[in-house]
Amino acid sequence: MGLLLKNGEIVTATERYVADVYVAGETIARIGQNLDVPAGTEVIDCTGKFVFPGFIDPHVHIYLPFMGTFARDTYRTASVAALTGGTTTLIEMCCPSRGEDALEGYKLWKSKAEGQSACDYAFHMAVSRFDEGTEAQLREIVADGTTSFKIFLSYKNFFGVTDDEMYQTLKLAHDLGVIVTAHCENAELVGRLQQKLLSEGKTGPEWHEPSRPEVVEMEGTTRFCTFLETTGARGYVVHLSCVPALKAASNAKKRGVKVSVESVLPHFLLDKTMAERPGVQGMKRVMSPPLRQKHNLQALWEALAAGEVDTVGTDHCPFTTEQKLMGKDAFTAIPNGIPGVEERVPLIYTYGVSRGSLSLNRFVDALSTRPAKLFGLYPKKGTIALGSDADLVVYDPAYRGTVSAKTHKTNTDYSGFEGFEVDGRPSLVTVRGEVQVRDGEFVGTIGRGQFLRRKPELPHAD
Ligand code: URP
Ligand code: ZN
Ligand code: ZN
């Protein structure tokens, strides 16, 4: 049975128009006015609603052993939360630590998703060590369709790489046609500042930001861009949070460095005072890079509108209140991360488009089309076009709601965005033609989600 989305306003990265979309099987078969469709087709009236391409979250953590504990979601919970919020593709950070075998880690991460996800998914493969066996393993992982890497300039001795390892990773990535995503903070400086603050008795969550000041992120971003320039590799700065780091990346772009920038939901909406709240309320908003002073939020919105910030991800990383309390005696022991996979689309729509000056086209571009293009998923994903996967989000702009842990699907007992109003919501969501969300509720199939095999971007012109 086909599906007809009738009379909605179709929004892509470049267009807005009212039309019908006819889905046959898993893909978009026809787009036009007053389409005649076969008997038995399910017709959804989309009058007064937007029809967006399925949104892609380019930065999530689902299975994550980290800071002495594990992030709380499974693919079952995370994919249902994602779909409820209009995200139809997840790109998860596959993060074996420095002491672990990369290929074994890759297989483990994949096994956590297989048969468990309601939406489609892919991985960025973390390189947390580069030794004589690494190249062969990475070649095997790329051949399996995982064509993006991840490096951490922070988290020394756990995920973090040395400059020499960064160089080798970027050089190999360039040769393989793979893009490298990077967490850009200077690990040595963070370590020293943490020690200094703790030795002064500064143990609360309000000291997390001073232990990772803007300049530390600016240095990491600058260094990553310098290494990209030297190796010719393509790079992507994840969760960029502040003006100095933005300037470093923008300057690199201007001189021709192949770097793109992601900022994540918390950095657009939450400022550092949220992490300065006493006790566990502050701990719940501890992430890295940290929440920043307020002026950075406005700068990120402007950079997003201008395309200087390319994409919006979440860095979804869910821990419970109990887990956050592991850091009650020292901010350095608070598991870093804030969940957001469910709220990204409605909150960026609300505070960017509905109540801000972000255009609908740029909204779709940053949350769907550019992630698809950067990570080798376009035009299968990231647009509404003939032959593209029928990952579609019917968005009802008239809906009004409030974010609350009482009603969210994410597997945590709190929301970093508790009490935020939302304008609109995804009322119907499809994954490759199958309705997974109806009237805002998950009605789909766990296990429908597929692993997305991607191709490297070769040959390189340079
Ligand atoms: O605080 C964060 N960002 N937690 C997740 C791990 C990472 O650095 O992305
Ligand atoms: Zn990170
Ligand atoms: Zn992350």
Pocket-forming residues, ligand 1, beta carbon under 6 Å: 61, 183, 287-288, 315, 317, 336-337
Q: Which has the higher per-residue pLDDT, 1 or 258?
A: 258
Q: Which letter does DSSP use for residue 366 in this model? A: I
Q: What average pLDDT does this structure show over 227-234?
A: 98
Tally of domains in the chain: 1
| Atom 9 (ligand 1) nearest CA | 315
Q: Give pLDDT tens digits for 102-137.
A: 999 999 999 999 999 999 999 999 999 999 999 999
Q: Say whether pLDDT at 324 is over 70.
A: yes
Answer yes or no: is pLDDT of 72 > 60.
yes
Q: Residue 21 falls within a domain, yes or no?
A: no
* Structural contact between residues 294 and 270, judged by C-beta atoms closer than 8 angstroms: no
- Please check the confidence at residue 206 and state whether its pLDDT lies above 70: yes
Minimal-distance CA residue to ligand 1 atom 8: 288
Percentage above 70 pLDDT, the chain: 99
What pLDDT digit, counting tens, does each position of 284-322 carry?
999 999 999 999 999 999 999 999 999 999 999 999 999
**Which of 371, 338, 364 is closest to 349 using CA atoms?**
364
Number of H helices, E strands in the chain: 15, 19
The CATH number of the domain holding residue 249 is 3.20.20.140
The answer to the question of residue 148 being in a domain is yes
For residues 118 and 446, the answer to whether their CB atoms sit within 8 Å is yes
As a whole number, mean pLDDT of residues 355-375 equals 98
Instruction: Note the ligand closest to the C-alpha atom of 324.
Output: 1
Structural domain including 254 reads 55-374
Average pLDDT of the chain, as a whole number: 97
SS (H, E, C) 271-328: CHHHCCCCCHHHHCCCCCCCCCCCHHHHHHHHHHHHCCCCEEECCECCCCHHHHHHHC
Instruction: Note the pLDDT of residue 458.
Output: 78
* Contact present, 377 and 57 (Cβ < 8 Å): no
Confidence of residue 459 (pLDDT cuts 50, 70, 90): low
Q: Ligand 2 centre and the CA of 263: distance in Å?
A: 11
Nearest Cα residue to 116 out of 75, 71, 83 = 75
Average pLDDT over residues 349-365: 98
Residues 248-263, mean pLDDT to the nearest whole number: 98
In a domain, 404, yes or no: no
Q: Could you say which DSSP state residue 389 is in?
A: B
97 CA to middle of ligand 3, Å?
A: 14
Residue 285: per-residue pLDDT: 98
In a domain, 410, yes or no: no
Q: What is the percentage of the chain residues whose pLDDT exceeds 90?
A: 99
C-alpha 400 – ligand 3 centre gap (Å)? 30
Helix (H, G, I), strand (E, B) or coil at 11: strand
Mean pLDDT of 9-15: 98
User: For residue 462, is pLDDT > 80?
Assistant: no
Locate the ligand 1 atom nearest the alpha carbon of residue 152 and give its number: 8
Rounded CA gap, 348 and 327, in Å?
30
Single pTM value for the model: 0.98
How far apart CA 403 and CA 405 sit, in angstroms, is 7
Closest-CA residue, ligand 1 atom 5, reads 337
Ligand nearest to the CA of 266: 1
Mean pLDDT of 9-31: 98
Look at residue 361 in the predicted model and tell me its pLDDT. Answer: 99
The end-to-end CA distance of the chain, in Å, is 48
**pLDDT greater than 60 at residue 347:** yes
Q: Does residue 187 fall inside a structural domain? A: yes
Q: Do the domain assignments include residue 225? A: yes
Give the residue whose CA is nearest to atom 3 of ligand 1.
288
Report the pLDDT averaged over residues 410-433. 98
Mean pLDDT of the region 97-103: 97
Ligand 1 center from residue 388 Cα (angstroms): 32
Ligand 1 closest atom vs CA 183: 8
The pLDDT of residue 164: 98
For the cut 70, the answer to whether the pLDDT of residue 443 exceeds it is yes
Cβ–Cβ under 8 Å, residues 449 and 79: yes
Q: Does 223 fall in a domain?
A: yes
Q: Given ligand 1 and candidates 151, 154, 238, 239, which is best to mutate, with the most ligand atoms within 8 Å of its CB? A: 239
From the CA of 435, how far away is ligand 2's center (Å)? 33
Residue 1's pLDDT is 81
Asked if residue 43 belongs to a domain, the reply is no
Using pLDDT thresholds of 50, 70 and 90, give the confidence band for residue 208: very high
**Is pLDDT above 80 for 339?**
yes
